[in-house]
Amino acid sequence: MDYERDVLLWYLGTVADNAHYRPDLRNKATYIIISFMRHGNAYRLMAEATALARGELVMYPFQQVNNIPRNLGLPVRRFGQNIQAITAAFGIIPTNADYEGHPIELISVLDPAIEESMNDNLRLEFHRALLVKEQRANADLARSVQRYGYHYIFRAGLQQYYMTKTVAEMINFWTPDPRGNAYRVRTQNLCYAAIERRLRLNNLEKMLLIRTTRSLPGDALRFWAWIEKNRVAYNAMKACIALLNRLNLFALFIFPSAFQGKWRL
């Protein structure tokens, strides 16, 4: 892997320095090199280089987080104290990238133990899948910013959601079972679908699902515990969005002229 990494870095450096290549291609090659210097993951490097060669690599813009006049009437500005109360209740500590509105990079919140459990081929496929999910995550972030204004909880929440979703799709938490791999995949899909609908299942709901799927309790509980641990910011984001929608609807109802034409549900 060291040899492949060095060859890719040499190739990307050649592209970045060659004035005969298109500026956007050179910028993307430079971006991959700088990104690798930050994360140091050879599989991410290979996935990004492959996407570049196929013309599939996308560079996402920073979100506008500055206090500019056209953002003053957006929900996150009008109800900022309410959002702060929710994020504090969930114990969310934003990173500098969250504060500054950096593009979402799912590798930045990936649990190292997850990647260490994979073989080489699966790790490469996994990082390719993360890049695909990043497109969706950044598109969702842009829509959230347009609708509500920028707040770090949107970036942190979507980053966690799409990372855990990718892991759940590609890694099976169930131990080997005589009923076969198809049973393990089907059971994990059912348990994941349940937590997608409810965000956080109570103990009774978990026990009912375990009995219905005839799972080993340890497998299902370990899976849900991992999802819950890695979706705290996502759950906080969902709570913030629900509150913003209610508060904005109330404000539009009480003070319709103040917000007419500025924002609609």
Task: Tell me the C-alpha distance between 211 and 195, whole Å.
Answer: 16
Q: Establish if 142 belongs to a structural domain.
A: yes
Q: pLDDT means per 10 residues in the chain (265 residues)?
A: 87 93 94 93 94 92 67 82 96 95 94 89 95 96 93 97 97 93 95 89 94 94 96 97 83 52 46
Residues in contact with 256: Cβ distance below 8 Å, sequence separation at least 6, in sequence order: none
Give the pLDDT of residue 134: 96
Q: Which tokens is 179 given?
A: 């009923």
Give the pLDDT of residue 254: 56
| Distance set, CA 93 to CA 62, 63, 120 (Å) | 20, 19, 33
Give the pLDDT of residue 61: 87
For every residue of 68-105, DSSP letters joined together read -GGGTTSHHHHTHHHHHHHHHHTT----HHHHHTPPP-
Q: Establish if 98 belongs to a structural domain.
A: yes
Same structural domain for residues 190 and 213? yes
Same structural domain for residues 90 and 131? yes
Give the pLDDT of residue 78: 87
Give the pLDDT of residue 250: 59
- The alpha carbon of 101 is separated from its chain's Cα centroid by a whole number of angstroms, namely 14
The domain of 170 spans: 71-250
Give the pLDDT of residue 73: 74
Q: Establish if 234 belongs to a structural domain.
A: yes
Q: Establish if 39 belongs to a structural domain.
A: yes
Task: Tell me the C-alpha distance between 118 and 145, whole Å.
Answer: 35
Same structural domain for residues 87 and 168? yes
Q: Which tokens is 33 given?
A: 């090199």
Same structural domain for residues 77 and 121? yes
Q: What's the structural domain count of the chain?
A: 2
Tokens 């929440």 correspond to: 157
Give the pLDDT of residue 3: 83
